[in-house]
Each structure stands twice: as structure tokens, then as C-alpha cells.
């Protein structure tokens, strides 16, 4: 696949799955033997099955959740996407009660592609900033 096709496939996860809740996209762009290297919530099965269970729970906790794409870089079979995430936590998330607060944080996602499908995924997220904004961890200097 071309670099542009790989970038397009990788962007479908944040823009169509997370932003819109379209779970059909998962089977279209993720390989059946997909490997997730990010921490997975306890109790979820690996691969696309667990991913498809995670999305509705995430969107229930952050119903207004939206990703904005800041940068997309592709080389070989790798696609790197820098995103800004925003959402208001109105539901329980990862064992934490709804805070009712909005947070904005940065994420960097790296996907490994094969034959137009995502086969592996890594992520770096500003979870500290997110948790501070949601009120679960005191902000620096507090």
C-alpha cells in the first residue's frame, strides 16, 4: 500500500471509530491478529474484540469526545499521528466516577501497517494532564 493509503487507514480509527462510534471501521482497517501495546483495561480480551468493547465504554464516559488531528507522518509501514483529545467525563471511566469536567490532552499514536491494515499499535498519552484536569490528581503547585 502507498503511504497515503496507510495514512488514510490509520486516521479512520480516531476520526470514525472514536469521534463517531462507527465500530464497523475496526474490521475494515485492523488486522484480525491486531496487537495492542497500550495498556488495556482489565477484563477486556486482546485484539479487535477487546477494542470494540472498549469504544462504547469510552464514549459513554466521554460522550462529547473528539480527536483533532495535528500531524500525520508516514514512512515505510509505520504511520505516526499526533492528536489533541477533548472530552467531558460524564460517566464512570477506568473505575473513576464521573467528574463532570472537561479535559484536553495530547496523544501520539504509532501504527504498523501490513496490506492496508493496522497490525500493531502503540500510544503515548498525557494521562497526568488529563487526570489533573478531571480533578483526580492535584495540579502541580496545588
pLDDT of residue 91: 97
142 inside domain:
no
Mean pLDDT in residue range 68-85? 98
Tell me: the pLDDT tens digits for 55-75? 999 999 999 999 999 999 999
Q: What is the mean pLDDT of the chain?
A: 95
Domain count, the chain: 1
pLDDT of residue 59: 97
The pTM assigned to this predicted structure is 0.93
Using CB atoms within 10 A of its CB, is residue 138 exposed (0-12), middle (13-18) or buried (19+)? exposed
Tell me: the pLDDT tens digits for 88-110? 999 998 889 999 999 999 999 99
CATH number of residue 64's parent domain: 3.10.450.50
139 inside domain:
no
76 inside domain:
yes
Q: In what order do the strands lie in the sheet with 30-36?
A: 30-36, 117-125, 102-114, 78-88, 66-75
89 inside domain:
yes
13 inside domain:
yes
pLDDT of residue 142: 60
11 inside domain:
yes
Mean pLDDT in residue range 99-126? 97
Q: Rounded distance, CA 43 to CA 26, Å? A: 20
Tell me: the pLDDT tens digits for 11-56? 999 999 999 999 999 999 999 999 999 887 888 898 999 999 999 9
Triad 72, 36, 78: Cα angle to 5°: 30
Q: Rounded distance, CA 82 to CA 59, Å? A: 20
Q: Which range of residues forms the domain containing residue 39?
A: 3-134
141 inside domain:
no
The C-alpha cell of 45 is what? 480480551
Amino acid at each position: 500500500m502507498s503511504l497515503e493509503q496507510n495514512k488514510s487507514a490509520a486516521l479512520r480509527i480516531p476520526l470514525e471509530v472514536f469521534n463517531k462510534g462507527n465500530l464497523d471501521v475496526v474490521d475494515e482497517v485492523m488486522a484480525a491478529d491486531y496487537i495492542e501495546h497500550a495498556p488495556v483495561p482489565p477484563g477486556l480480551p486482546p485484539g479487535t474484540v477487546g477494542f470494540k468493547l472498549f469504544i462504547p465504554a469510552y464514549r459513554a464516559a466521554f460522550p462529547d469526545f473528539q480527536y483533532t488531528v495535528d500531524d500525520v507522518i508516514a514512512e515505510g509501514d509505520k504511520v505516526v499521528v499526533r492528536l489533541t483529545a477533548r472530552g467531558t467525563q460524564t460517566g464512570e471511566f477506568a473505575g473513576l466516577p464521573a467528574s463532570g469536567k472537561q479535559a484536553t490532552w495530547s496523544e501520539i499514536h504509532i501504527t504498523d501497517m501490513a496490506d492496508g491494515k493496522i497490525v500493531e499499535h502503540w500510544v503515548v498519552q498525557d494521562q497526568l494532564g488529563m487526570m489533573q484536569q478531571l480533578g483526580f490528581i492535584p495540579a502541580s503547585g496545588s
